[in-house]
């Protein structure tokens, strides 16, 4: 059986890219909810409805596990999804814990970039509260990066001016770690890096999520020796057009 990967858009491919390193011989179903992207700027209840519609579709195709490769969807729905479906559901959350561990006692702060919805959620404040006893975690929404990614616009000359505008009121020297708390953001790592000093760590939960998936499948005895085939869907419709498939494969570095 396949492993499902779900995101509002192309961000999920940055997680699938990591999973392919650990689990190259599985078959995958990648689902992007392109009709409703971006999630991060919409009301929570509306996004929840889209998530359940998408996961119903994926479940009907038959999957042995599902990765919610979206920090926003994880923060607002992972608990309820796990109650509804009987296959394992692996979520992703901003990597705040390793970031705080890395910066504590170094007189450096942590900057979390994510969607507005992720940052507004109780799950995020609880996460920060549980690890940030020195009050070193700042956060900022970056909706423009989701828009740029969905237009396949990754050129630094387009991205850096947006980042500079968003970060204009921040003293960037004070940060030791930047957390990419949205799966659309790793595509912009080099542009983000250009704004910070060389020693700054830029991290995401992507690799941890992929390892988590592997461990869960291993514990179930469900690791396959399959073909490594990936089928792509956009909001319930199989992607057949070569141009889109080409862009997806490029992001997966296939
Ligand atoms: N890629 C998603 C995340 O990790 C959400 C982007 C969006 O749809 O706003 O949060």
Mean pLDDT of 47-64: 98
Q: Which residues pair with 2 in a beta bridge?
A: 63
**Ligand 1 atom at minimal distance to the Cα of residue 182:** 4
Could you give the residue numbers annotated as active site? 70, 182
Structure confidence by residue, pLDDT tens digits, 208-235: 999 999 999 999 999 987 788 999 999 9
User: How much distance in Å is there from the Cα of 34 to the middle of ligand 1?
Assistant: 11
Give ligand 1 pocket residues (Cβ under 6 A).
Answer: 7-9, 11, 37-40, 70-72, 115, 118, 146, 182-184
Phi-psi region of 140 (alpha: psi -120 to 50; beta: other; left: phi over 0): beta
User: Residue 254's pLDDT band (boundaries 50, 70, 90)?
Assistant: confident
Q: Does the pTM of the predicted model rise above 0.95?
A: yes
Give, for ligand 1, the residue of 93, 120, 182 to mutate: max count of ligand atoms closer than 8 Å to Cβ: 182
Q: What is the pLDDT of residues 164-205, one digit of tens each?
A: 999 999 999 999 999 999 999 999 999 999 999 999 999 999
Bond from prior residue into 189 cis (ω within 30 degrees of 0): no
Q: Are 12 and 68 in contact (CB under 8 A)?
A: no
Amino acid 226: pLDDT: 78
- Neighbour-count burial of 247, counting CB atoms closer than 10 A to its CB (0-12 exposed, 13-18 middle, 19+ buried): middle
8 phi and psi, to 5 degrees?
-65, -25
pLDDT score recorded for residue 225: 72
CA-proximal residue: ligand 1, atom 2 (nearest): 70
The domains found in the chain, sorted by start residue, are 2-92+206-252 (3.40.50.1860), 96-204 (3.40.50.1860)
Structure-token pair, residue 227 = 């073909």
């Amino acid at each position: 059986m396949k492993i499902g990967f779900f995101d509002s858009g192309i961000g999920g491919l940055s997680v699938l890219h990591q999973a392919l390193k650990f689990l190259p011989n599985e078959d995958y179903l990648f689902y992007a909810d392109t009709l409703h992207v971006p999630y991060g700027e919409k009301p929570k209840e509306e996004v929840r409805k889209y998530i359940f519609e998408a996961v119903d579709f994926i479940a009907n195709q038959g999957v042995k596990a599902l990765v919610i490769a979206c920090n926003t969807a994880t923060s607002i729905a992972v608990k309820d999804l796990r109650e509804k479906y009987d296959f394992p559901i692996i979520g992703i959350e901003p990597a705040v814990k390793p970031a705080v561990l890395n910066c504590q006692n170094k007189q450096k702060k942590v900057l979390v970039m994510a969607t507005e919805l992720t940052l507004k959620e109780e799950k995020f404040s609880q996460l920060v509260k549980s690890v940030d006893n020195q009050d070193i975690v700042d956060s900022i929404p970056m909706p423009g990066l989701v828009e740029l990614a969905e237009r396949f616009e990754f050129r630094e000359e387009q991205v850096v001016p947006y980042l500079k505008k968003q970060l204009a009121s921040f003293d960037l020297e004070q940060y030791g770690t930047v957390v990419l708390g949205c799966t659309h953001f790793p595509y912009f790592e080099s542009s983000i890096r250009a704004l910070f000093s060389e020693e700054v760590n830029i991290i995401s939960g992507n690799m941890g999520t992929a390892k988590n998936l592997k461990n869960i499948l291993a514990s179930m005895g469900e690791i396959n020796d399959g073909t490594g085939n990936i089928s792509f869907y956009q909001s319930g419709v199989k992607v057949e057009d070569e141009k889109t498939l080409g862009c997806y494969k490029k992001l997966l570095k296939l």
